[in-house]
Amino acid sequence: MSAILRAPSILLAAITAFAGLAAFTATTAHGQIGFKDAFPGLVFDRVTRIAEVPGMPDKTFLVLEQHVAQISLVTRKNGAWVKSVFFGPVAVNQQNEMGFLGLAVHPDFRNNRKYYLSWNPVAKYSDIIDERQADATFTKDAGTVRNILTIKDPEWNHNGGTLHFGKDGFLYAGFGDGGGGDNQFGNGQNKGSLLAKILRLDVDHPADGRNYGIPADNPFVGQAGFAPEIWAWGFRNPWKWSFDPLNQDMWVGDVGQNATEEVDIVEKGQNYGWPNMEGPNNYKGANDGTMKLPVYSYGRALGSCVIGGVVYRGNPASKYYGTYFAADLSGHQLFGLKKNGTGPAARTDLGAIPGGNPITFDPDAEGNIYMGVEKLAPIYMLDSPDLKPAPVSNLSGASGHQGYRLVQGGQGGKAALPPGDGSGKADRLGIFNLSGKRIGYLAAEDLRFPEGIRTGLYILKPLEAAPEDRPEGGR
């Protein structure tokens, strides 16, 4: 895909504290990250997204297969992983990087069954976001579709296409500059174009003749010349990007042109420079003083097509906690980045990638990290004793009660607690966000999350006394 992208169960464990995490250190050859078959016995064709389905009784994934143009449902049956067709196959444009590119599950999926698909139809050339629904069994697509957005492309390449919901409930979508080379169609710095941008859309409240609404706090609402959908701009091909589940930092891998690959931590309203800059360097112009520099960049000695990754938020005691795992399609080297104040991120190489060119990284609710490759192959899971889900640990304080792990709690769903965890010792369990703020509680006899709390990762902690208030609001 270098020619393609280049160009022409439910929980995070409760813990006693977040301070004092082990420092990130370079790994030795003996301690490098391994790769294991995540779903033994199953293979997939050019995986571009691995999305865990929230609220299912058994661990379940939707897997996007790019050129087959199929969404596969992967779940466990009789102790083994099984694969079935959730949606597709359908006819798509199969030119190199086109096809099924992005998928996001609605935060209220267990109630509205909605999910969002980014794809490229056979007809030249366009990027489409559709809203679709699962059927009542949650095991296949119901056949209902509503187009959210269609963007015409001048060429076949630089599509981007990654979709994610933020904790704010809005859908974020990343698109490339429309293809060709050297920004030949001028979209990189075109304020009115939706290409070369990260967009932020309200899919729950269509307005003004669109099939989506514009969030009132989008940065360019009301500004002359700017498309109001824009969250950030100046990208060449943000092929893969993700949110840090702890703090919502948006990590974007933006594929370079001739010499430099870059990773950005994207902020609201900021301009990331393409084509004035390629990475931190002047390219077809210069930094006008407002353009943001990447948090990390590298040259052709290390690869030619960055594959944006994910931040590990499994076990807070791990030396990798907070590490951004990413790779390069042609470099075949897994690497980790750690934020370094306001300076460039520090890189550590973590192992050679097996089984083909990497094209996506995705986490599950426990923090495990999965990788898809650009051929018919297994899905791999990053494998290390330091990349495990958080263990259940005793909480500090007089109660001495056990902590609890939970997966994708929120939106009225029920928290599944392991047997014998001591839940009967408390009348209520406080719901705390990952910063330690209490935002609500569960009644121990029911354990259902209040409807006002979004789907996400939470700490559950016994309360010494019954709280007088209902949930205190979301994150």
Comparing CA positions, the residue from 335, 328, 416 lying closest to residue 373 is 328
pLDDT, tens only, 105-156 = 999 998 999 999 999 999 989 999 999 999 999 999 999 999 999 999 999 9
What is the band of 420 on the pLDDT scale with cuts at 50, 70, 90?
Answer: very low
pLDDT, tens only, 153-197 = 999 999 999 999 999 999 999 999 999 999 999 999 999 999 999
Contact present, 7 and 256 (Cβ < 8 Å)? no
Q: What is the mean pLDDT of the chain?
A: 85
- pLDDT for res 464: 57
Residues 27, 395: Cα–Cα separation, whole Å: 31
Task: Give the dihedral sign, CA 16/403/167/86.
Answer: positive
Least confident of 196-205, 370-379, 459-468: 459-468
- pLDDT for res 84: 98
Is pLDDT at 6 greater than 80 in this prediction?
no
Residues 42, 17: Cα–Cα separation, whole Å: 39
Residues 100, 140: Cα–Cα separation, whole Å: 17
pLDDT, tens only, 76-100 = 998 899 999 999 999 999 998 999 9
Is pLDDT at 20 greater than 50 in this prediction?
no
pLDDT, tens only, 272-284 = 999 999 999 999 9
- Higher-confidence position of 459 and 393: 459
- Which residues in 66-183 belong to E strands, given as ranges? 70-77, 80-87, 100-105, 114-119, 126-134, 141-152, 160-165, 171-175
pLDDT, tens only, 221-267 = 999 999 999 999 999 999 999 999 999 999 999 999 999 999 999 99
- Higher-confidence position of 448 and 12: 448
Residues 119, 131: Cα–Cα separation, whole Å: 12
pTM for the model stands at: 0.81
- Higher-confidence position of 184 and 402: 184
**Given strand 60-65, what is the order of strands in its sheet?**
47-52, 60-65, 70-77, 80-87
Looking at residues 373-398, what average pLDDT do you find? 75
What is the band of 30 on the pLDDT scale with cuts at 50, 70, 90?
Answer: very low
CB burial class (10 A; 0-12, 13-18, 19+) of residue 84? exposed
Looking at residues 391-413, what average pLDDT do you find? 43
Is pLDDT at 471 greater than 50 in this prediction?
no
* Residue with the two structure tokens 């938020």: 313
Question: Residue 342's Cα: distance from chain center in Å?
Answer: 23
- pLDDT for res 405: 47
Q: Tell me if the domain spanning 2-8+31-383 has CATH number 2.120.10.30.
A: yes
Residues 302, 210: Cα–Cα separation, whole Å: 43
Is pLDDT at 436 greater than 90 in this prediction?
no
Q: Where in the chain do CATH 2.120.10.30 domains reside?
A: 2-8+31-383
SS3 123: coil
Looking at residues 26-47, what average pLDDT do you find? 81
Comparing CA positions, the residue from 316, 309, 373, 315 lying closest to residue 347 is 309
- Most confident range (mean pLDDT) of 16-25, 182-191, 439-448, 464-473 is 182-191
The tokens for 303 are 């690869």
Least confident of 54-63, 329-338, 394-403, 458-467: 394-403
Q: Left, alpha or beta for 188 (phi > 0: left; psi -120 to 50: alpha)?
A: alpha
Contact present, 230 and 219 (Cβ < 8 Å)? yes
- pLDDT for res 1: 47
What is the band of 457 on the pLDDT scale with cuts at 50, 70, 90?
Answer: low
Comparing CA positions, the residue from 129, 67, 141 lying closest to residue 100 is 67
